Amino acid sequence: MSQRFPDALSMAAGRPYEGFFDIDAVHEYLRLYESHVRSLSGGDEALVRRTLLQYGRTKGIIHDLIAENLATDEGIHVDPESIVVTVGCQEALFLTLRALRRDDRDALITPMPCYVGATGAAALADMRVLPVAEHSAGIDVEELGRVVARAKADGLRPRACYVVADFANPSGATLDAGTREALIRLAEEQDFLILEDNPYGLFTPLGAEPTPTLKALDGDRRRVVYLGSYAKTGLPGARIGFAVADQPTASADGGTVLLADQLAKVKSMLTVNTSPIAQAVIGGKLLAHGCSLRSANTRETELYQGNLHHALKELARHFPEGGAPEVTWNTPAGGFFVVLTVPFPVDDDLLVHSARRHRVLWTPLHHFYGDGRPRRRIRLSLSYLTPDEITVGIERLAEFIREQSDVQSLPKGIS
Ligand code: PMP
């Protein structure tokens, strides 16, 4: 859409802000990781070259650093052997679903609206998706229990529930600690896994105490497969993500292996191994910041928080309470997105009209339900813009919404 309408300001792309991109830092990170390998190998230059330049270990080479990163930033303590370094979180999602799917009775459960990458990966893995109705707290655990029970009664195997517990895409919702505990308890009782996808959790408002991740709360119960992404906290162009899959599972020869090793088996036939050069860049960034990306991202956190508050202020200015047209929105505590409810159903044709006539892009929420039925809701992305651009974008959006509210409130036949 952005290419088709280059004059349109995009509040659609959920991309990280580019103002802090720094090519020199990439060279520095590579050097840092190279020195790290050199010192670990006792100066074995052939090994340094091989580690960075040769085909490599299927599960990756920066697993130790990732384990340290998780311990430092999230209080998650895992064996590095249970980590698979992937080509973005997207590959981690696909590998996990593919490894969990045995036959067509296996199902993934997810609250709707859901990140399209998750439902898309399930479709690629040929895995059935069972929706859980939307809830303001992110997920209704009792309703989830009913969906699981119904699925089992229908002869299906609910293998996992996919959740973004912190600042979800697209809803912005964050699960509170009680909901997280209840979710893990239900997973234990009903014997399914939780796939915790956490690309935005690090951007908790500075000074606020983050809610522990599901994986941290899960401890030794091993109900949670944690799916990580360094796209927002490391560098999107490196395309590095990972899965922590420390669940013991049955192997083909009757023994036990980690789920991570099953993922590696799938990976060996998909991308073979994640680029060691790309891993070295992220590994170097981790080394440069004492394995804490929370502290490495204070500028980004401030920017994303600032953008979010600025957008909420601009929305309130254009759509005062009790005014017309009636437009409401949620108030996420962080993350990249805000969801607006408008007085008319929104489809892709309206998006094209908005881009052409009002020069602003956004995302119709129906894309996140997978049923193509237009909703009265749109997602705004705030991560890629400056506050001034957000001012202009919301101004244009308000014109579009006022116009459409007028058009759609006319009696039929007059348009
Ligand atoms: N999960 C969610 C919820 C996302 O929003 C995104 C990217 N927008 C991803 C996963 C994909 O992450 P990656 O770029 O690491 O593949």
220-232 per-position pLDDT tens digit: 899 999 999 999 9
C-alpha 382/C-alpha 393 separation (Å) is 10
Q: Where are the domains of the chain?
A: 9-18+297-409, 55-296
Mean pLDDT of the chain: 95
C-alpha 85/C-alpha 78 separation (Å) is 14
What are the phi and psi torsion angles at 281 (to 5°)?
-65, -50
pLDDT tens by residue, 69-107: 999 999 999 999 999 999 999 999 999 999 999 999 999
Residue 279: both structure tokens together: 């891993």
Please give the pLDDT value at position 411: 58
Please give the pLDDT value at position 64: 98
Length of the chain: 415
Give the closest residue (by CA) to ligand 1 atom 12.
89
Q: What is the DSSP string of 35-49?
A: HHHHHHTTS-HHHHH
Please give the pLDDT value at position 372: 84
pLDDT over 60 (residue 357): yes
Give me the mean pLDDT over the 258-276 stretch: 98
Give the closest residue (by CA) to ligand 1 atom 6.
199
Check pocket membership of 196 for ligand 1, CB cut-off 6 A: no
Give me ligand 1 centre to Cα 320, in Å.
34
pLDDT tens by residue, 6-20: 999 999 988 999 999
Give me the mean pLDDT over the 25-32 stretch: 98
> Which residue has tokens 């506050």?
387
**Which of these, 382, 65, 84, 381, lies nearest to 245 by C-alpha position?**
84
Assess contact for 239 and 278: CB atoms under 8 A.
yes
Question: Which of 96, 162, 169, 195 best tests ligand 1's pocket when mutated (most atoms within 8 Å of CB)?
Answer: 169
Buried b (16+ CB within 10 A) or exposed e, 384-396: bbeeeebbebbeb
Strand partners, 130: 109
Cα Rg, the chain, nearest whole Å: 22
Percent of all residues in the chain with a pLDDT value above 70, rounded to a whole number: 98
Confidence of residue 136 (pLDDT cuts 50, 70, 90): confident
pTM, whole model, 2 decimals?
A: 0.96
What is the architecture of the domain spanning 55-296?
3-Layer(aba) Sandwich (3.40)
Residue 8: both structure tokens together: 């349109």
Assess contact for 169 and 115: CB atoms under 8 A.
yes
Give me the mean pLDDT over the 146-156 stretch: 98
pLDDT over 90 (residue 291): yes
pLDDT over 70 (residue 414): no
Give me the mean pLDDT over the 353-379 stretch: 95
Cβ count near 41 (within 10 Å): 14
**Which of these, 230, 246, 249, lies nearest to 238 by C-alpha position?**
230
SS3 at position 180: helix
**Which of these, 313, 335, 323, 325, lies nearest to 383 by C-alpha position?**
335
Cβ count near 321 (within 10 Å): 7
Q: Give yes or no on whether 9-18+297-409 and 55-296 have one common fold.
A: no
- In single-letter form, the type of residue at position 90 comes to Q
Give me the mean pLDDT over the 181-202 stretch: 97
Give me ligand 1 centre to Cα 11, in Å.
17
Please give the pLDDT value at position 370: 85
C-alpha 118/C-alpha 136 separation (Å) is 20
What are the phi and psi torsion angles at 27 (to 5°)?
-65, -40
Please give the pLDDT value at position 413: 47
**CATH T-level assignment (fold) for domain 9-18+297-409:** Aspartate Aminotransferase, domain 1 (3.90.1150)
178: which residues sit within 8 A by CB, 6+ positions away? none
Distances (CA, A) of 234 to 20, 280, 285: 11, 12, 7
Task: Give the position, in ligand 1's atom list, of the atom nearest the Cα of 91.
Answer: 16
